[in-house]
């Protein structure tokens, strides 16, 4: 049981950081499908940074800078050029996957994976069975609570929600929706960098091509399933991680009765069900999309 909890915490932590990035963007009215790309940029920059500079601090700084830059690029495309956020976000994801592969190949040749000599600091012996988990795992619940406080209990959070739900009202109150969206995407970039760093340097200390393997999209599903509430979405991400951990152990637990691949589809099915249900309950889509276009102000 303890090892299952450790496994779930290990797989949930990167997912929850990236989910928080999606939550803050969603509250600003942006459908963030670039999460997958930001996450892999964070993962690649952390490992490549550690190998090239030998310093964890520099590596994390590089990851943060690249993720924020990529977020600003997305902001420029959707805010200044009025591109469709869904298509542009998918484009950012492609840029992240392609760019990280390209960078890894040009620096290290065509290797399957790059391993770093060390990763994030671990919690240590005093944490008993959780000793091998990284400090970012311990920081994760704090981050979720801080995000909840920031988005639900501060002036900034309410202004951000206003920009997402009724940008015209926000502008009338003297808040600039473009600037708030930029801030939201920037904070999202930092959170996604943390998620990518934890994924790559938290346990395995390697970067492999396409190693995020759809986690960014699962984080987006968690944002939708949790109705963009920080704690709800974090719980959704945790639930998805439990399902994934069970998927890996399905054959041990159920024999061949439940195919593991179909169990892994459960988060996506749950999201479809959640969107359908919230649409029924509220008599409309929970998060009205209009193709994910930003609202005018």
Partner 1 sequence: MNANLIAVIRALIFIVFALVLCGIIFEFAGYSSLDMFQSIVDGAFLRPGGLAQSLRWAIPLFITAVGVGLSFRCGFFNIGAQGQFYLGAVAATVMATSLNGWPALIVVPASFAAGIAGGALWALWPGLLKLRSGTDETITTLMGNFIANLLLVYVTTGPLKDPSGSGQQSSSRPLAAAYRISNSLGLSPTIIVIAVVVGLLMWLLINRTAFGVVASLAGRNPVMVRWQGAKVWRLGIASFLISGALAGLAGTVEVFGPNGRLVGGFLPTHGFTAILIALVANLSVGGTAVGALFFGGLASAALYLPIMAGLPSAAIDIINAAIALFITARSSHIDRLIGGLIGRARKTP
**Measured from the CB of residue 266, what is the shortest distance to partner 1 in angstroms?**
10
| Size (the chain), residues | 297
**Measured from the CB of residue 292, what is the shortest distance to partner 1 in angstroms?**
6
75 neighbors 67 (Cβ within 8 angstroms): no
DSSP letters for 2-66: HHHHHHHHHHHHHHHHHHHHHHHHHHTT---TTHHHHHHHHHHHHHHHHHHH--HHHHHHHHHHH
Q: Can you name the residues that pair with 113 across neighbouring β-strands?
A: 208
Return the number of the residue (104 or 116) whose C-beta is nearest partner 1: 104
Return the number of the residue (58 or 272) whose C-beta is nearest partner 1: 272
Distances in Å between the alpha carbon of 157 and those of 68, 199, 231, 286? 20, 28, 14, 19
Return the number of the residue (6 or 222) whose C-beta is nearest partner 1: 222
How many C-alpha atoms does 86 have within 13 Å on its Cβ side? 5
Return the number of the residue (120 or 223) whose C-beta is nearest partner 1: 223
CA pair distance 246, 110, nearest whole angstrom = 33
Return the number of the residue (91 or 188) whose C-beta is nearest partner 1: 91
Strand 206-208, strand 113-115: pairing:
antiparallel
Return the number of the residue (173 or 252) whose C-beta is nearest partner 1: 252
The binding site for partner 1 (CB under 8 A) comprises 31, 33, 73-74, 77, 80-84, 86-88, 90-95, 97-99, 101-103, 105-107, 110, 214, 217, 221, 224, 259, 261-262, 264-265, 268-269, 271-272, 275-276, 279-280, 284-285, 287-289, 291-292
**Measured from the CB of residue 83, what is the shortest distance to partner 1 in angstroms?**
4
Helices (H), 85-214: 85-108, 135-153, 155-165, 167-172, 177-201
**Measured from the CB of residue 45, what is the shortest distance to partner 1 in angstroms?**
13
For the CA atoms of 285, 286, 292, 297, the dihedral, rounded to the nearest 10 degrees, stands at 110
């Amino acid at each position: 049981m303890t090892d299952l909890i450790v496994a779930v915490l290990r797989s949930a932590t990167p997912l929850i950081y990236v989910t928080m990035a999606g939550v803050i963007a969603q509250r600003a009215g942006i459908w963030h499908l670039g999460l997958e790309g930001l996450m892999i940029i964070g993962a690649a920059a952390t490992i490549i940074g550690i190998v090239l500079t030998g310093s964890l601090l520099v590596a994390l700084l590089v990851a943060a800078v690249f993720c924020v830059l990529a977020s600003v690029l997305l902001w420029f495309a959707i805010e200044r050029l009025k591109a469709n956020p869904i298509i542009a976000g998918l484009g950012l994801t492609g840029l992240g996957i392609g760019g990280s592969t390209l960078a890894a190949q040009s620096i290290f040749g065509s290797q399957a994976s790059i391993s770093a000599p060390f990763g994030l600091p671990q919690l240590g012996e005093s944490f008993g069975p959780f000793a091998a988990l990284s400090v970012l795992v311990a920081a994760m619940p704090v981050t979720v609570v801080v995000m909840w406080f920031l988005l639900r209990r501060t002036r900034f959070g309410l202004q951000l929600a206003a920009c997402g739900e009724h940008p015209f009202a926000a502008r009338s109150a003297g808040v600039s929706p473009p600037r708030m969206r930029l801030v939201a995407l920037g904070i999202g970039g930092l959170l996604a960098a943390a998620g990518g760093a934890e994924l790559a340097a938290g346990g395995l200390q390697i970067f492999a091509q396409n190693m995020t393997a759809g986690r960014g999209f699962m984080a987006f599903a968690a944002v939708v399933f949790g109705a963009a509430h920080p704690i709800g979405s974090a719980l959704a991400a945790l639930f998805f991680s439990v399902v994934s951990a069970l998927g890996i152990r399905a054959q041990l637990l159920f024999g061949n009765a439940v195919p593991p691949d179909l169990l892994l589809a459960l988060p996506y099915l749950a999201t479809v069900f959640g969107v359908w249900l919230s649409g029924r309950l509220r008599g409309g889509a929970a998060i009205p999309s209009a193709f994910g276009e930003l609202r005018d102000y």
